[in-house]
């Protein structure tokens, strides 16, 4: 690809301070108006093991970690041994020459040993090699030292002037050393004049919640969803959000439902294991007609699985969550910025239809980081609370009770019944998880009645029709008359679209992408009509059994030409999809499973 | 007065809203629900329901100011039988939902109700953590030492040796002691009542609702159908009020000692109470001003929104 595209890989053991140089570099890039994508491959360990962060910058949006590394910074021998082979011609490897033995580089790769002991001098700052390597790299990228200095000053401000000065000194030593000893990259990274924010998916989910007016957030810590809790806890007091860490996920969802019933917008997040504990309560929310939002950040399962690795393996769990049929929305955001819009839109939907909403992200989106244009996030989005009685927030709160008594579950054409909040005079009622009549009286124990049960069940399920009309159908990305349509859902949008570009540029294969975001309800007819024009169709997903392929088939009878699946815990790289498309087009297989090259 | 429906195969008739003007002094009758309880004749829960209605009236509360939240079980049907807001949630989850309600709108009087299986068994984890956190809730547990709605299996409070459908040769497990657990765990109002002594129970419930913090009121509420051991006749000669026995509810060690007492003399009354620990909602700065969370306007101040993004640039 001709566009500017630069990726740095920083690797080491947990505890070696990989996050800090990653953050510093990211801030430098976004200050120069470069877009970014960061993926951190790590292990469930606090100290030791191996971590590998890939930070990729470009003038255009970056939707994946890409296929190559231009600069490698191995902070220990293990990283050198694992990843030097991934550095190709034109790439550079910056390392502590005193401690790390270089392996044999690929032809054309530049090895840059840094005399860390000498350059650090008397400095006692921990992880001096990180700062020295960053200094050298920035010099080779043609980035002004002043910017590096500003970012270091900000990064270490809390630790005092002495620490800032020491870091700047060490950085300068690395920067200057590179000038005389290494060959700079032929093109320096431009300054586009724009300024972006650098955000993590979990932060964006939390910010979306705050913007939507979430007043109650609770969770039990579970990787990779915990970042939402951390952001909420940090900002709770500033934003007037009640944040609670609860004893278990059953408590989490039930507490959220309680708060939601009083009129708060309430949200919680977990991963697949925690979600499994929440399932009965999701049905309860639907039965009591209480709007609540639950985020499932998928990780590699089953059971404890691989806690620090990604997967799209919970689709069927989420679709099958809870006993019986009940109305709900299931949505899978397609990019990190999309996490924001998804939450604000979803709250309006669940408020309007008084049912649970489930967000399916995964480790790739939630712990992945990306650049965003700050104006992209609207912190005062349109709010629709639906038919609500007694809410004094942005409403009047005083509606006289209806003649003949209030019926909380009044049977209506839309399936939606006006919802009175507890505390409102004249609207006293009971909501129950047992089947009930329009006025809330149970028809589960003493007064069972098949016709009333049927009517109430149909009332609830009618909401699904109204929802579908308010949800955008998926749009085809790329040329309409492509020879290949790549179908994905949720987080894979970025990598699939990059694969489309690669297929066009390098393989002369015209491909387009149909990315599905709203999973339930599903625009099945629309999807089927789009796909009926496609020659070759391939479903790309991060799981073993083709969960989305099976779902799409169940809803539409659609069977694709082939499948590309990955379930090793790591996300797709663009070339994995390119290779799969080629093989499926050559009819050598209809199921391609790539082999991940980076071992972390 | 809501329309009444007697037990029959017919569903209840449509109801009319309460006719007394807002703010009028209500009586227990005004808290009668639209449906008569479907409990077995003689069930201890009738007395608990009446006591709760009486307590609400005596406290001068209005139906819309109160929300009664239950789990699942015979006693958990209670919210359907009382004229207040109500939630009839999932088995074991009453106090979890109730704590969310309490924080969502801390101006409501939140009362959780249920049975021993619901609260001390399947809901045990929520129970211990809600007490530790001292939410401002009143939790009424109708303890009949048996699973009734599932037709008579042993419960966490069933006595050792008790024969039930799931322990036909006698229960080999030892029962939980909910009062001692609550006192040790951080509940700030711990009491026990008996369905056979309604006046005494009304006072305990009133005290629990007035108390600012987690109030556990365990009530001996005999199951006349499935528990043939712990009957009214069994309890009557044994229960003694702590008032008769002489007890200082601010004395932790005495409270524990009384909570562990069982046999020929079983104390009921207020075992333990402390007022020096604020309820959780009083400790949360988010609730310090601005009224109930549920009714606050949505939207973020533009300056704060800007600062949120600037942190990330």
A412 close to B (CB below 8 A): no
A198 close to B (CB below 8 A): yes
Give per-residue pLDDT as tens, A291-325.
999 999 999 999 999 999 999 999 999 999 999 99
What is the average per-residue pLDDT within A116-139? Answer: 93
Supply the pTM of this predicted model: 0.96
Give per-residue pLDDT as tens, A34-61.
999 999 999 888 888 999 999 999 999 9
- Say whether pLDDT at A181 is over 90: yes
Q: Test B299 with A213 for CB contact under 8 angstroms.
A: yes
Residue A34 is predicted with a pLDDT of: 96
From the CA of A258, how many Å to the nearest CA of chain B?
Answer: 4
Predicted ipTM > 0.90: yes
Residue B256 is predicted with a pLDDT of: 98
Burial of A556 (0-12, 13-18, 19+ CB in 10 A): middle
Pick from B7, B100, B286: CB nearest A257: B100
What is the average per-residue pLDDT within A463-487? Answer: 97
Angle in degrees, 0-180, between the axes of helices A201-212 and B302-310, rounded to the nearest 10: 180
Preferred mutation among A336, A428, A432, A448 to probe B, highest tally of B CBs within 10 A: A428
pLDDT grade for B19, boundaries at 50, 70 and 90:
low
Residue B179 is predicted with a pLDDT of: 98
**Range B225-261 burial, b when 16+ CB lie within 10 A, else e:** bbbeebeeeebeebbebbeeeebebeeeebbbebbee
In the numeric block, the tokens 């711990």 are attached to: B190
Give per-residue pLDDT as tens, A247-282.
999 999 999 999 999 999 999 999 999 999 999 999
- Say whether pLDDT at B4 is over 90: no
pLDDT grade for B10, boundaries at 50, 70 and 90:
low
- Say whether pLDDT at B1 is over 50: no
SS (H, E, C) A524-548: HHHHHHHHCCCCEEEEEECCCCCHH
- Whole-angstrom Cα distance, residue A420 to residue B182? 35
> Percentage of chain A with pLDDT > 90?
91
- In terms of CA atoms, which chain B residue is nearest residue A432? B88
Residue B8 is predicted with a pLDDT of: 47
Preferred mutation among A201, A391, A392, A446 to probe B, highest tally of B CBs within 10 A: A446
Lowest-confidence segment of A180-189, B175-184, B226-235 by average pLDDT = A180-189
- Whole-angstrom Cα distance, residue B271 to residue A156? 55
Q: Test B97 with A255 for CB contact under 8 angstroms.
A: yes
Give per-residue pLDDT as tens, B124-154.
999 999 999 999 999 999 999 999 999 999 9
Q: How far is CA B31 from the centre of its chain?
A: 17
| Tokens standing for residue B154 | 């042993």
- Whole-angstrom Cα distance, residue B95 to residue B131? 10
Residue B22 is predicted with a pLDDT of: 79
SS (H, E, C) chain B: CCCCCCCCCCCCCCCCCCCCCCCCCCCHHHHECCCCCCCCCCCCHHHHHHHHHHHHHHCCCCHHHEEEEECCCCHHHHHHHECCEEEECCCCCHHHHHHHHHHHCCCCEEEEEEEHHHHHHHCHHHHHHHHHHCCCCEEEEEECCCECCCCCECCCCCCCCCCECCECCCCCCCCCCHHHHHHHHCCCEEEEEECCCHHHHHHHHHHHHHCCCCEEEEEECCCCCCCCCCCHHHHCCCEEEHHHHCCCCCCHHHHHHHHCCCCCCEEEEEEEECCCCCCHHHHCHHHCCCCCHHHCCCCCCHHHHHHHHHCCC
């Amino acid at each position: 690809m001709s566009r500017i595209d630069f990726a740095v890989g920083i690797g080491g053991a947990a505890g070696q301070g990989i996050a800090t140089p990653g953050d510093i570099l990211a801030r430098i890039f976004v200050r120069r108006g470069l877009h970014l994508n960061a993926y951190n491959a790590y292990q469930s360990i606090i100290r030791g093991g191996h971590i590998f962060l890939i930070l990729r910058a470009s003038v255009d949006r970056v939707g994946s970690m890409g296929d190559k590394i231009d600069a490698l910074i191995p902070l220990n021998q293990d990283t050198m041994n694992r990843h030097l082979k991934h550095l190709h011609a034109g790439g550079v490897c910056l390392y502590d020459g005193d401690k790390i033995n270089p392996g044999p580089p690929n032809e054309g790769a530049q090895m840059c040993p840094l005399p860390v002991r000498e350059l650090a001098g008397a400095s006692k700052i921990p992880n001096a090699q990180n700062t020295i390597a960053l200094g050298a790299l920035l010099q080779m990228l043609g980035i002004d030292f002043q910017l590096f200095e500003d970012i270091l000053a900000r990064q270490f401000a809390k630790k005092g002037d002495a620490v800032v000065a020491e870091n700047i000194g060490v950085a300068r030593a690395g920067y200057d050393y590179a000038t005389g000893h290494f060959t700079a990259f032929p093109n320096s990274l431009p300054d586009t004049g724009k300024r972006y924010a650098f955000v993590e998916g979990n932060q964006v989910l939390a910010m979306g919640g705050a913007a939507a007016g979430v007043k109650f957030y609770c969770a039990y810590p579970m990787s990779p969803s915990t970042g939402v809790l951390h952001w909420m806890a940090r900002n709770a007091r500033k934003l007037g959000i009640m944040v609670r860490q609860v004893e278990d996920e059953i408590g989490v969802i039930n507490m959220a439902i309680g708060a939601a019933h009083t009129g708060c917008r309430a949200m919680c997040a977990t991963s697949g294991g925690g979600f499994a504990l929440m399932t009965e309560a999701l049905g309860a929310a639907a039965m009591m007609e209480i709007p609540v939002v639950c985020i499932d950040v998928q990780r590699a399962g089953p059971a404890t699985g691989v806690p620090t690795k990604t997967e799209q393996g919970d689709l069927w769990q989420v679709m099958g969550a809870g006993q019986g049929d009940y109305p709900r929305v299931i949505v899978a955001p397609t990019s990190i910025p999309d996490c924001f819009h998804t939450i604000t839109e979803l709250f309006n939907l669940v408020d309007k239809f008084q049912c649970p909403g489930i967000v399916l992200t995964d480790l790739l989106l939630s712990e992945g980081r990306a650049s965003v244009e700050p104006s992209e996030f609207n912190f005062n989005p349109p709010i629709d609370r639906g038919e609500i009685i007694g809410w004094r927030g942005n409403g009047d709160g005083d509606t006289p009770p209806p003649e003949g008594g209030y019926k909380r579950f009044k049977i209506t054409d839309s399936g939606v019944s006006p919802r009175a909040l507890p505390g409102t005079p004249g609207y006293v009622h009971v909501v129950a998880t047992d089947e009930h009549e329009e006025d809330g009286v149970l028809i589960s124990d003493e007064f069972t009645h098949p016709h009333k049960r049927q009517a109430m069940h149909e009332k609830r399920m009618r909401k699904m029709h109204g929802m579908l009309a308010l949800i955008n159908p998926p749009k085809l990305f790329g040329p309409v008359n492509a020879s290949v349509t790549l179908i994905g859902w949720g987080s894979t949008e970025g990598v699939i679209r990059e694969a489309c570009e690669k297929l066009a540029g390098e393989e002369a294969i015209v491909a387009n992408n149909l990315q599905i975001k709203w999973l339930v309800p599903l625009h099945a007819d629309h999807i089927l009509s789009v796909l009926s024009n496609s020659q070759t169709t391939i479903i790309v997903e991060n799981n073993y059994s083709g969960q989305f392929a099976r779902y799409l088939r169940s809803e539409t009878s659609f069977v694709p030409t082939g499948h590309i699946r990955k379930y090793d815990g790591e996300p797709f790289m663009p070339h994995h999809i390119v290779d799969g498309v080629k093989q499926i087009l050559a009819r050598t297989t209809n199921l391609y499973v790539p082999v991940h090259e980076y071992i972390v | 007065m809501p329309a009444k429906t007697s037990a029959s195969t017919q569903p209840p008739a449509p109801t009319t809203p309460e006719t007394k003007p807002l703010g009028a002094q209500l009586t227990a009758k005004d808290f009668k629900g639209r449906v008569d309880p479907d409990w077995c004749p003689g069930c201890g829960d009738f007395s608990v329901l009446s006591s709760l209605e009486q307590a609400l009236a005596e406290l001068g509360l209005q139906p819309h100011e109160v929300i009664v939240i239950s789990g699942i079980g015979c006693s958990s049907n209670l919210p359907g039988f009382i004229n207040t807001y109500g939630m009839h949630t999932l088995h074991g989850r009453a106090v979890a939902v109730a704590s969310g309600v309490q924080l969502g709108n801390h101006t409501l009087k939140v009362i959780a109700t249920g049975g021993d299986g619901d609260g001390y068994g399947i809901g045990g984890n929520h129970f211990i953590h809600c007490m530790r956190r001292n939410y401002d809730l009143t939790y009424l547990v109708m303890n009949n030492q048996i699973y009734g709605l599932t037709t008579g299996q042993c419960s966490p409070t069933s006595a050792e040796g008790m024969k039930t459908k799931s322990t036909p040769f006698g229960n080999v497990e030892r029962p939980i002691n909910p009062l001692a657990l609550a006192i040790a765990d951080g509940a700030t109002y711990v009491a026990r009542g008996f369905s056979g002594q309604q006046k005494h129970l009304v006072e305990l419930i009133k005290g629990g609702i007035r108390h600012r913090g987690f109030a556990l009121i365990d009530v001996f509420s005999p199951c006349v159908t499935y528990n043939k051991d712990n009957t009214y006749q069994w309890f009557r000669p044994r229960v003694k009020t702590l008032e008769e026995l002489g007890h200082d509810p601010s004395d932790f060690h005495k409270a524990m000692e009384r909570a562990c007492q069982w046999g020929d003399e079983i104390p009921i009354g207020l075992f333990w109470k402390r007022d020096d620990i604020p309820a959780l909602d009083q400790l949360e700065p988010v609730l310090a001003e601005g009224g109930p969370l549920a009714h606050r306007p949505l939207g973020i101040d533009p300056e704060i929104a800007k600062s949120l993004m600037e942190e990330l640039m």
